[in-house]
Each structure stands twice: as C-alpha cells, then as structure tokens.
C-alpha cells in the first residue's frame, strides 16, 4: 500500500455527501467503535470502506500494533534517553501488572494516586489546611508544557461540576502572568502546586519563587511551606524549598517531563 493510493481514496471519498452515506442504515454501527462507556463515532466523516481498508493496511505495514505493545509492555522506546514510556501506567485503573525490567510499577503508581486523591479530597473538605487552620479557597498550579496544559484541560472539561476551591494556572515566565493571577487572591488561603520533575525548570521555579515571596510577605517565611505542594522527583530540592514530604507527589523516569 502506498501513500498515493490512500490520498486518492480520500479524494474520492469526499465527493460523496455525508447525508448520502447515511442511506446505508448500518453506517452508524459500521463506522463506530466502543469500549466501556466510551464511543468513538466516525460515521459522520467522509470516510468510506475503501479509505478505511487502506488506512488499516498502512497501520499494519507500519507495525503500529507492535509499537503500541512495546510501549504498553515497558520496553525502552524512548531511544534518546534509553527509557520506557509509560504514561499509560498512570491510567491503568485495573491495577494489572505493568513491568519495567521485570519489576511491576503498579504498586507505586497506585500508592501515589491514592495519596494524591486523599490530599485533593482533604483540600476540598477542609481537613488539609494552611498553617492558620482555615480552608484553602484558591489553588494555583505553576508548571509549563504538559505540567500546565494537562491539568488546565481537566479543569476546563470538569468546569460544570466545579464545587471546590478556585483553580488558576501560571506558565509564562513573564512576571506579568503570575502577577495577574495572584492579584486579588488571598495568600493566607492560597495553595500553590509546583509541577516540575527536576525542580530546576527555569520558568517554573522563577514563578514558584515569586509565589513563595508573595505568600511569605503575608504569613512569614516559616509558614510559607504550608501553602505549597509539589509534583516532582527531586525530594531534596522540594525539601530545601520548604515543602513537606507528605505534600510531594513523585513519579518515575518513564514519565517524561
């Protein structure tokens, strides 16, 4: 199968109006797939059987299934760093074993996810508090790239169900960004989450230090750490920053970042 055949099939497919395609009463079922509660419906695209068959052929010739299986099984497909790529393990709610060099990583993943869930619920129900003892009213996430876009996407997607602290995001190293976010917030009731794998990302740490200074001016340097949590593997650096170990959530090197 060559690329030209696929592009020709695609060009031909778009010539038929989608309404015309639905004269086939089985189209919705034939051009959709489901798994659990998820439905992927591509029946309302220009795709036809010929184009789909060619796409499947390309998929098979490219060895996509084998590459997918290599990722899921913990092979070191990150050739640059010689590491596995297992973001999938973080979403493995079944708890089935996922092995890297023979070691099942799931116990550690599930433990961290539980700690994160307990912490988040504690912030929401008021059992996790700043040193002054009252509730956190605002949460500021400081990160860049996926450490910003991922949680921001989740926040937007779940906005209709929001019933907890207000959530804000800072990613730009330009001081105007964090100043705009912090303007109007009360440092005594703000929780700052610093997301940096190494705790050395210059943009993130510059903003984190700005936030720490902002909190310290109101609650004092000794109490500032009680307003912070971290997503990081650098336990020594988070400790030096003043963040209690119980509020640091780590991950393995097979999670890029």
The proportion of the chain whose per-residue pLDDT surpasses 90, expressed as a percent, equals 87
CB atoms within 10 A of CB 251: 19
Residue 95 has pLDDT above 80, yes or no: no
Compute φ and ψ for 206, nearest 5 degrees: -60, -45
Residues 124 and 228 in one domain: yes
Region of poorest pLDDT, from 94-103, 114-123, 205-214, 237-246: 94-103
Q: Examine residue 82 and state whether it is found in any structural domain, yes or no.
A: no
Greatest Cα pair distance, the chain, in angstroms, is 71
Segment 81-92 mean pLDDT: 90
140 burial class (0-12, 13-18, 19+ CB within 10 angstroms)? buried
Mean pLDDT of 76-84: 91
- Residue 47 and residue 142 share a domain: no
* Alpha carbon distance 219, 212 (integer Å): 10
Query: 256 pLDDT band (50/70/90 cuts)?
Result: confident
Q: Retrieve residue 123's tokens.
A: 């912030």
Across the range 160-174, mean pLDDT stands at: 96
Average pLDDT over residues 196-216: 96
Same-domain pairing of 138 and 229: yes
What residue spans of the chain are helical by DSSP H? 3-13, 18-21, 27-30, 49-62, 64-72, 87-90, 106-125, 146-157, 175-182, 202-219, 221-224, 235-241
Q: What is the mean pLDDT of residues 49-69?
A: 94
Quote the domain boundaries for residue 130: 106-249
Q: How many C-beta atoms lie closer than 10 Å to residue 183's C-beta?
A: 7
Edge-to-edge strand order for the sheet containing 248-249?
Answer: 166-170, 138-142, 190-195, 228-231, 248-249
124 with 196, same domain?
Answer: yes
According to the model, what pLDDT value does residue 257 have? Answer: 59
**How would residue 126 be classed by pLDDT, with cut points 50, 70 and 90?**
very high
Average pLDDT over residues 142-159: 95
In a domain, 180, yes or no: yes
What's the rounded Cα separation, in Å, for the pair 151 and 169?
9
Give residue 254's pLDDT.
87
What CATH number is given to the structural domain containing 239? Answer: 3.40.50.10490
For residue 65, the model assigns a pLDDT of 95
The reply to whether 208 and 116 lie within a common domain is: yes
DSSP lists the bridge partners of residue 249 as 231
The answer to whether position 80 is within a domain reads: no
- Do 35 and 143 lie in one domain? The reply is no
Residue 202 has what pLDDT? Answer: 95
How confident is the model over 21-49, as pLDDT tens digits? 999 999 999 999 999 999 999 999 999 99
2 belongs to a structural domain: yes
Q: What is the mean pLDDT of the chain?
A: 94
> Per DSSP, what are the bridge partners of residue 104?
99
Type and span of the H or E element at 231 = strand 228-231
252, pLDDT greater than 90: no
By mean pLDDT, which of 19-28, 169-178, 248-257 is the weakest?
A: 248-257
What pLDDT, on the 0 to 100 scale, is given for residue 1? 63
Question: Residue 243: exposed, middle, or buried by beta-carbon count in 10 A (0-12, 13-18, 19+)?
Answer: buried
The answer to the question of residue 40 being in a domain is yes
How much is the pLDDT for 12? 94
């Amino acid at each position: 199968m060559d690329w030209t055949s696929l592009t020709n099939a695609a060009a031909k497919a778009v010539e038929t109006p989608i309404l015309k395609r639905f004269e086939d009463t089985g189209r919705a079922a034939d051009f959709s797939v489901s798994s659990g509660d998820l439905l992927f419906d591509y029946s309302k695209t220009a795709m036809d059987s010929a184009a789909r068959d060619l796409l499947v052929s390309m998929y098979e010739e490219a060895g996509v299934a084998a590459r997918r299986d290599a990722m899921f099984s913990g092979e070191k497909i990150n050739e640059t760093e010689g590491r596995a790529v297992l973001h999938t393990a973080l979403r493995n709610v079944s708890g089935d074993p996922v092995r890297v060099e023979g070691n099942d990583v799931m116990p550690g993943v599930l433990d961290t996810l539980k700690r994160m869930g307990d912490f988040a619920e504690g912030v929401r129900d008021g059992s996790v508090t700043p040193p002054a003892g009252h509730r956190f009213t605002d949460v500021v996430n400081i990160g860049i790239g996926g450490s910003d876009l991922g949680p921001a996407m989740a926040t937007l997607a779940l906005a209709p169900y929001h019933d907890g602290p207000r959530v804000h995001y800072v990613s730009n190293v330009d001081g105007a960004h964090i100043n705009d976010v912090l303007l109007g917030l009360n440092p005594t009731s703000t929780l700052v989450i610093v997301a940096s794998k190494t705790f050395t990302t210059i943009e993130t740490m510059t903003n984190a230090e700005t936030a720490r200074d902002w909190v310290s001016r109101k609650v004092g340097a000794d109490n500032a750490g009680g307003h912070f949590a971290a997503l990081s593997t650098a336990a020594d650096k988070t400790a030096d920053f003043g963040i209690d170990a119980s509020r640091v959530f780590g991950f393995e090197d097979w999670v890029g970042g």
